[in-house]
Chain A
Amino acid sequence: MAAAAPVSEYQLKAVFLFNFAQFVEWPASAFPQTSAPFVIGVLGKDPFGADLDDVVRGEAVNGHPLAVQRYQNVGEVRDCQILFIPAAEFGHVGELLARLKGRSVLTVTDADEGPQRGVMIGLITQDRQIRLRIDVEAAKVASLTISSKLLRPAEIVGTARS
């Protein structure tokens, strides 16, 4: 029977990343040129398969076409606007954040630890649903402005709270 409607976990997470592109404001300095693509980076082994590519296909944000880039390791990370750190890669987060310091990159992870050590958004699976945890302060430090539409359903963590 067709009982189960399997939304795969990473299909759903890919859609969340797509939404973040809409609900976060990047400074103009985050893009090398006005026509540069809006890059969603994925660190390490990519858990999305084709899902993330499907989500961004044909989409643009403020004139920046969306694109996906995959980085095998921290050393490969280049200009991107969102960087997804899969749970399995969370061990490298210290090294990664040191590298991203001073750059306007929205860092997102689905590690159970959630946003900490400066990672901004956690996508946490609980009761088979995705929960959002956001460290507003960490985003501010990177000159990112998160829309209240995104904050409202989220759990706010970190040192500063609205």
Chain B
Amino acid sequence: MSMARKFRPYFIEGRDRSRFKRSFHQFVPLLTSLSLAFCGARALADPNVADVPSTGDLKQLSLEDLMNVKVTSVSKQPQKLLQAPSAIQVITSDDIRRSGATTLPEALRLADNLEVAQINAHDWAISARGFDANLANKLLVLIDGRAVYTPLYGGVLWNVQDYLLEDIDRIEVISGPGGTLWGANAVNGVINIITKSAQQTQGLYATAAAGNQLQDFGGVRYGAQVAPDVYLRFYGKYFDEGDVITSAGANAADSWHMARGGFRMDAHQFGDNWLTLQGDVYDGGENYGVAGDSDLSGSNVLGRWTRTLSADSGFTLQAYYDHTYLAQPFAASPPAQFFRGFPAASLMDTLDTFDLDFQYHLGWGERQKIVWGFGYRETHEADEDLSVVRFAPPVLNQNLYSGFLQDEIAVASNVQFTIGSKLEHNDYTGFEVEPSARVQWNFDPKELLWAAVSRAVRTPSRYDHDLEVPSGLVDAPPPFQFPEDYLKGNSNFLSETLIAYEVGYRATLASRLSGSISAFYNAYDDLRSTTSTPTTATYVFPFPVFFQNNLEGDTYGIELSTSYQVLDWWRLHAGYDLLEEHIHVKPGEVDATGATNETADPQQQFALRSVMDLPRNVQFNAALRWVDELHINNGPTGGPAIGIVPSYFELDTRLAWHVTRQLELSLVGQNLLHEYHTEYGFPSPTREEIARSVFGRITWGY
């Protein structure tokens, strides 16, 4: 079940949720004295009025009144989670709104099974189950089915991934491999960001905020019905974030701004057909101090056709085109003895992606559900040839072909077995296979046990394969030879592989308590290493260092997440992760970083969140997190030295008041416990520290 739908990955989106918002507004709360008594806020104000209503009392209520009764719902998580045989967590739109997050990486802090470390004002390292480097490359991220990882280094440029957060329906975060459905790079986890349908986002919504770090922030959306059963929305968003500081106390000069906008149209007038057309554009820039400013821009358009053929069969056809451009400045390096120097330059990367996917699902007899599909992706990437860094060849076209087949077999009424595999072909390594097998046992309607074995791969990126970083060394005094490059990719670079073993348990333990626990053992092979070139009497530098696949090892850990509805108006949430990593150099091989380059991960982290509905339409949210210290390496050419990022506690809060149904005022504090704290980076005077942020926000509409 869990992995059955790639494009509407877990919970059916769209059609049925869509009309909700409007009808919700049609309710004028008919607060009879009885339903008032059930209402949490009222109960808080006057604890004595609340009586447990009897079934007889409830039967006397009108339908409208019944719909105003609050239930002691355990969690906001869709119940379908109880059928999900994977370590999935869902961030709902309500969670995002209450958190005060204004960007996607901030919202991802709500997933207990992710590591989120802010590097500077505009960069984040985000991963699951370890390997959270600044170029983290083992997580696949999709926004409405569009893969947003960059083939430049196989990771996600979080500074350009964003949306008007109010229009996000949910974020599904799966820790653990998802290669069988999603293909290469879904190694340690998959994040599916799913926006609301146009029908769910009708009318005008506008928001603005200002504070010490978030200096300007504004967003607007307008949605309208353009024809019977055809809905459209447009949105725009802009923000401007201030500088942070370096550990030496200097201004880090890394302020940035980003403007974006887009549309989504949903149509379902042709019976069982559902058509979506959507697109986004963005443009922004970041300050890089003396080097100048970066330039970031992009655009994409996506079309999707979903057709239901019968009660248990249907297909989805999706195509998208995505264009991204980034220009990252490098400051000039002045010439010196034996060093020719580098002029100021800007690495320009232009990436065009065309992607086509088809997926078909059908029931097979009484007990089986089959999903199959195929995909094609073409990328065209051009990187400016610079003296300071280059990719060879500078222009590269690549083709990716894939197909998958998965079968869900109900071996008993409450036991399901799912087996499947992806087969794909890429230009670097040829064929890759990513099979998995899962079993789920709903031994009680409120409890689920699951287990899985999966194989996943990370295929080479241009960084692994094509990178050339010139040394700039010249005029060698005889008889010495100087190296042309000091860091190089490797045209024989292999795919990194993972075999993952997972078990999990998810339950609604009592009417107010729910939780999940998962444990994993990951066995990795052919992880990226850096090897130095042997020196000789005339060749005295160990350069170039180049990438190989000389690391292997295993990681294991547990992920715990639990929600407790303390009172009707107060929910507590706690999450905890434990991670052990044992990555080592293969016998007889070497690695310049001593196998430490990608594993700057906290051994433990925990989060505690409190969600409150207070009287007089006031909400209060508080999120405390603790992240263990990181043991961080200084990059592939920095040697095996290990630095420490200290463990830290931080606290985010949000106080919001719904003045009227349309108007909301809120005050948000992020990282309140310290004026500055470090989340990532090798210790140095230029390591950046993240600032306390406080902002006020006004929101109209909804």
Contact = CB atoms under 8 A, between A and B. Distances in A.
Interface of A: 1-9, 11-12, 14-16, 18-19, 23, 44-45, 47, 51, 54-55, 72-73, 86-88, 91, 93-95, 97-98, 110-118, 122, 124-133, 149-150, 153-157, 159
Contacts of A15: 55, 58-59, 61, 66
Given A54-B55, A97-B311, A155-B19, A7 B63 contact: no
B47 to A, nearest CB: 4
Contact of A88 (B63, B71, B83, B271): B83
B568 A6 contact: yes
B575 to A, nearest CB: 22
Nearest to B74: A9
Contacts of A18: 59
Contacts of A117: 308, 311
Contacts of B40: 4, 128
A160 to B, nearest CB: 11
B336 interface: no
B442 interface: yes
Interface stretch (B9-17, B380-388, B527-535, B692-700): B9-17
B82 A88 contact: yes
B63 A19 contact: yes
A72 B414 CA distance: 11
B23 interface: yes
B15 A157 contact: yes
Nearest to A11: B55
Nearest to A118: B311
Contacts, number: 157
Interface of B: 1, 11-12, 15-17, 19-20, 23-24, 27, 37-38, 40, 43-44, 47-48, 50-53, 55, 58-59, 61, 63-64, 66-73, 78-80, 82-83, 94, 271, 308, 310-312, 363, 366, 413, 442, 444-445, 511, 567-568
A155 B19 CA distance: 7
A5 B52 contact: yes
A55 B23 CA distance: 28
A155 B71 contact: no
A97 B363 CA distance: 14
B371 to A, nearest CB: 14
Contacts of A95: 366
Contact of B51 (A2, A72, A118): A2
Contact of B19 (A2, A55, A129, A156): A156
Contacts of A125: 71, 73
B38 A7 contact: yes
B385 to A, nearest CB: 52
A19 B50 contact: no
Contact of B78 (A3, A112, A118, A122): A112
A129 B613 CA distance: 14
B58 A45 contact: no
Contact of A128 (B63, B83, B413, B568): B568
B226 to A, nearest CB: 17
Given A97-B311, A153-B27, A73 B413 contact: yes
Contacts of A73: 413
A150 B80 CA distance: 27
A51 B511 CA distance: 14
Contact of A93 (B15, B51, B311): B311
A115 B312 CA distance: 15
Given A8-B511, A122-B16, A150 B63 contact: yes
Nearest to B26: A153
B72 A9 contact: yes
B66 A8 contact: no
Contacts of B37: 5
Contacts of A19: 63, 66
Given A45-B445, A125-B71, A94 B311 contact: yes
B43 A5 contact: yes
A86 B414 CA distance: 14
**Shortest 9 CB-CB contacts between residues of A and residues of B:** A94-B311, A114-B16, A94-B312, A5-B50, A45-B445, A155-B23, A87-B79, A6-B72, A9-B71
Contacts of A4: 40, 43, 50, 72, 567-568
A82 B487 CA distance: 70
Contacts of B52: 5-7
Contacts of A149: 63
Contacts of A154: 23
Nearest to B310: A94
Nearest to A97: B311
Nearest to B63: A153
A16 B78 CA distance: 20
Contacts of B38: 5, 7
B51 A5 contact: yes
Contacts of B68: 129
A4 B48 CA distance: 10
A114 B69 CA distance: 20
28 contacts: A2-B50, A3-B50, A4-B50, A5-B53, A7-B38, A7-B58, A7-B69, A8-B71, A9-B511, A11-B58, A15-B55, A16-B66, A44-B413, A88-B79, A91-B1, A94-B310, A97-B311, A112-B78, A112-B80, A113-B12, A114-B16, A125-B73, A128-B40, A128-B70, A133-B19, A133-B20, A155-B23, A157-B19
Contacts of B78: 112
A100 B567 CA distance: 41
Given A12-B58, A55-B55, A88-B83, A129 B11 contact: no
